[in-house]
Chain A
Amino acid sequence: MINTMECAVDAQSLISISLMKIHNSRTQRGGIKLHKNLLVSYVLRNARQVYIKEKYAEIYRMQQYEEVMTVCNEIQELNPLDLDAEDADDEEQARAACCGEEASLCGSACHRDAAQPAAHARTASALPGCEEDCKEPEPSYYRSCCMEASPVSHCDQFPANSSAHCNKTTVLDLDTHVVTTVENGYLHQDCCCDALQCGQGAQSPAKKRKVEFGCCVSDVEEVSDFTAARKRAKREDCSYSHPDYTDTSNISNLISIFGSGFSGLLSRQADLEQICSKQVLASLGAWTRAIVAF
């Protein structure tokens, strides 16, 4: 648990500062300093964790109000020990988790967009975003998403067109601080499907699943430590298919920052990480755009 109280600067600013440092290190005399960049990436990871948790908390809180009302209505007719009620409860939590993830991915996407003012001109309007607020999500919320097959049904709830646009989302452009309502589909769709994969492919221990989901959404790095932060940078290069992102010179520059290629990037990963990868990939959209700005 990162203590953010003493920090005068919030997670977003830290992320943008860190990215600038990495960028500047490329032009420093003497070559890229591995040690310093490693430390900066740790700060990036920590700030990202905090930021995503904050986003989750906010979205969870937003969703919870609606669903609590719905659940209350349903439960009133049922015995508290009834399994159906539990399922419904978990269902709600799962849906919250999915939406929360979507929100966090949006949030992190939006946030990264803000981190790179230079890029905002072409990406701000396209990105969904979230409002910022601070609250700690509850752990059970992570686990349920993975365990239940119910998320599938929630996917059906959303308009099933090819671009998979789902619910509208409130967007806060962190540069202009303008709140708008945008459709968000791609990220969310991916999230639902992968949550399903999590549920179906997961091993039995609940704890492990919890870890997996946690890994998927915000704690990738906790599973594989620094790895994920770098993997993220790599994946966006090789997998993200956003039409804007065609600048290969920036890809190669990014690779040179981290001093490695990405051959075998996905192949050598544990199953755990593969499950997470798609979700993380989805969240990389704005990272990509942010770094392309360099």
Chain B
Amino acid sequence: MDGDNFSEISCRESLPCRLLLYGRRKRDSPTTSAGISSHSSLARSPREEATNPQLPYLFRPPSTILSSTCHTEADIISTVEFNSSGELLATGDKGGRVVVFQREQESKSQPQRRGEYNVYSTFQSHEPEFDYLKSLEIEEKINKIKWLPQQNAAYFLLSTNDKTVKLWKISERDKRPEGYNLKDEDGRIRNPSTITSLRVPVLQPMDLMVEATARRVFSNAHTYHINSISVNSDLQTFISTDDLRVNLWNLEITDRSFNIVDIKPANMEELTEVITSAEFHPQQCHTFAYSSSKGSIRLCDMRQAALCDKHCKYFEEPEDPSTRSFFSEIISSISDVKFSHNGRYLMTRDYLTVKVWDLQMENKPLETYQVHDYLRGKLCSLYENDCIFDKFECVWNGSDSVIMTGSYNNFFRMFDRNTKRDVTLEASRENSKPRAILKPRKVCVGGKRRKDEISVDSLDFSKKILHTTWHPHENIIAVAATNNLYIFQDKVN
């Protein structure tokens, strides 16, 4: 589904997609999904058990509510991210765990299994902590995962919760040394008097083991909650962003970070906006952008000054006074900002729209797409049930021709920037069979409801797709729906 084929596909009302479904691992019972043979590897992978046995149930404070469906809150996926080659897909959840999927190599013997993602590694990235000074519990929920481009055989990723960023190294081991002199195969120390000869230990093949080790821990730099991290194109530095500050780190140095943006006012009562997300430019290592709760984006150049409080570009669209309501400030707050792969555009997501900005034009966006404008009349109820505070993410496809974002009722939307066509798809088990083609959905906004349409009042607001990611080169998308991960591909074998 590149730009050329997209329109044709939507005309025929079918998106050739093969559904690969992976349920989140439940505490007690393995998840099930229909017809996916690779799924068994999710729950109990032999190589997984060798390195990271499933951890015991973590203590949860009484305020945590277990949902009525059979997954725990800890299983709710909180972030998804492809690595830069698309070979690996990482997910983080509210329980602080990271699950990494790896794409199967193509093999002639099983051509239908080409390109399926299987669990590669699972590890506990963050644990719940307690800040004794402020009497605050620090959630272990993984807010963001960002991969580092691969430079050797191992894989590296950054994962963060509200306060601490960690660099994880995921490496394979398929050999182990055998034939030690002083200890036997079990590891027990041999009695020296029994050693009569010396031998050189040799590496023997073993079952593949994937281990994840924390290589760096970047902590104690954020007073407020971290909302995003971004790796620089120089591959040496990264930024971590909380509500009021952006800090610059060197990947090698954990005891020091530089504050490059600080919007905390001298008097907190003057606070009018917070930073909601920040990202480095994909090519220019001195440029980054950060979005605010007021609907503006600032582009900063780190060469100008040590402290980048002064932006070099300021993107904001003036508010339309005729649409002003009680909730104008909430729905204009930007929840996600993403540079395009070519570095010429910025995409922002606020509650009801996705906007594409040209970096050369600051006064208004290049394109605005309505994600679910039918919710505009429901803002009151969405405020009452807190859905109006949901932070949706948005993603570009590899060629920057299609953008995608999530919505409610497990719907997600794709917009083709060239043809201006859009499609609404649903990520659900009931409506999708494995290898079935996804059927476009439509929300009826009033008047007569057609057969396949769903009315606004029937939307399930507890089923929201906040996190999505797109393969960097191919048309493979990963969509997180509460505790389920859906991977869709456009190639039909």
A277 to B132, CA, bound (A): 37
Judge whether A2 and B274 touch: CB under 8 Å.
no
- Give A40-77 as 1s and 0s: 1 = Cβ < 8 Å from B's Cβ atoms: 00110011001000000000000000000000000000
Q: How does the 8 Å CB contact mask read for A2-13 relative to B, with 1 for contact and 0 for none? A: 111011110100
Which of A7, A9, A34, A224 is in CB contact (< 8 Å) with B274? A34
Tell me which of A3, A4, A258, A264 has the highest count of chain B C-beta atoms within 10 A of its own C-beta.
Answer: A3
* CB–CB A226/B272 < 8 A: yes
Instruction: Find residues 125-170 in chain A having any chain B CB closer than 8 Å to their own CB.
Output: none
**What's the nearest-Cβ distance from chain A to residue B274, in Å?**
5
B137 at the interface (CB under 8 A from A): yes
Counted as pairs of residues, one from A and one from B, with CB atoms less than 8 Å apart, the total is: 117
Tell me the complex Cα distance, A27–B321, Å: 36
Binds A, one of B197-205, B324-332, B411-419: B324-332
Cα distance A221–B376 when bound, in Å? 25
Chain B residue nearest to A11 (CB atoms) is B326
Please provide the chain B residues from 369 to 403 with a CB less than 8 Å away from any CB of chain A in the complex: 376-377, 379-381, 383-384, 386, 389
Question: Which chain B residues border A87 with CB–CB below 8 Å?
Answer: none
Given contacts A17-B384, A43-B327, A50-B326, contact A30 B137 (CB under 8 A): yes
| B162 interfacial contact with A, CB 8 Å | yes
Roughly how many angstroms separate A283 CA and B273 CA in the complex, as a whole number? 26
Among the 9-residue stretches A105-113, A173-181, A200-208, A227-235, the one with 4 or more Cβ atoms under 8 Å from chain B is: A227-235
- Distance in Å: Cβ of A215 to nearest Cβ of chain B: 15
Answer yes or no: B269 CB below 8 A from chain A CBs.
Answer: yes
Instruction: Report if B134 contacts A (CB, 8 A).
Output: yes
B139 touches A (CB below 8 Å): yes
Q: Are A3 and B224 in contact (CB under 8 A)?
A: no
In the complex, whether B63 has a CB less than 8 A from a CB of chain A is yes
The interface residues of chain B lying within 8 Å CB-to-CB of A38 are 271-274, 293
B48 at interface, CB cutoff 8 A: no
Q: Which residues between 1 and 43 of chain A lie within 8 Å of chain B, taking CB atoms?
A: 1-4, 6-9, 11, 14, 17, 21, 27-31, 33-36, 38-39, 42-43
Residues of A within 8 A of B270 (CB): 224-227
A260 neighbours in B (Cβ, 8 Å):
267-269
Q: Decide if A259 is an interface residue (CB 8 Å cutoff).
A: yes
Residue of B nearest to A39 (CB): B330
| Smallest CB gap from A21: residue in B | B386
Contact status A7-B325, CB under 8 Å: yes
Interchain CA distance A36-B333 in the complex, whole Å: 10
Asked if B383 and A17 sit within 8 Å, CB to CB, the answer is yes
Report whether A31 and B136 are in contact in the complex, using a CB–CB cutoff of 8 Å. Answer: yes
A121 within 8 A of B: no
A265 at the interface (CB under 8 A from B): yes
Q: State whether B269 touches A2 (Cβ < 8 A).
A: no
Contact-residue size bin, chain B (C-beta under 8 Å from the other chain): 35 or more
Distance of A8 Cα from B381 Cα, bound (Å): 8
A47 cross-chain contacts in B, Cβ below 8 A: 326
A268 at the interface (CB under 8 A from B): yes
In the assembled complex, the CB of A146 is this many whole angstroms from the nearest CB of chain B, namely 25
Residues of chain A with a CB closer than 8 A to B386's CB:
21
B330 surroundings in chain A (CB, below 8 A): 39, 42-43
Question: Considering only CB atoms, which chain B residue lies closest to A50 in the complex?
Answer: B326
Q: Bound state CA distance, A63 and B479, in angstroms? A: 60
Contact with A along B139-179 (1 / 0, CB 8 A): 10100000000000000000000100000000000000000
- Complex contact B293–A29 (CB within 8 A): no
Question: Are B64 and A29 closer than 8 Å at their CB atoms?
Answer: yes
CB distance from B298 to the nearest CB of A (A): 17
By beta carbon, the residue of chain B nearest A229 is B269
The smallest C-beta distance from A40 to any residue of chain B, in angstroms, reads 8
Interface residues of B (CB under 8 A from A): 61, 63-64, 134, 136-139, 141, 162, 224-225, 227, 243-244, 267-274, 276, 293, 321-330, 333, 376-377, 379-381, 383-384, 386, 389
Question: What are 13 A-B residue pairs whose CB atoms fall within 8 Å in the complex?
Answer: A2-B326, A6-B325, A7-B325, A8-B380, A9-B380, A14-B326, A34-B243, A35-B225, A35-B243, A46-B326, A46-B328, A46-B329, A227-B272
The 7 closest A-B pairs by CB, nearest first: A260-B268, A42-B329, A30-B139, A230-B269, A31-B136, A226-B272, A34-B243
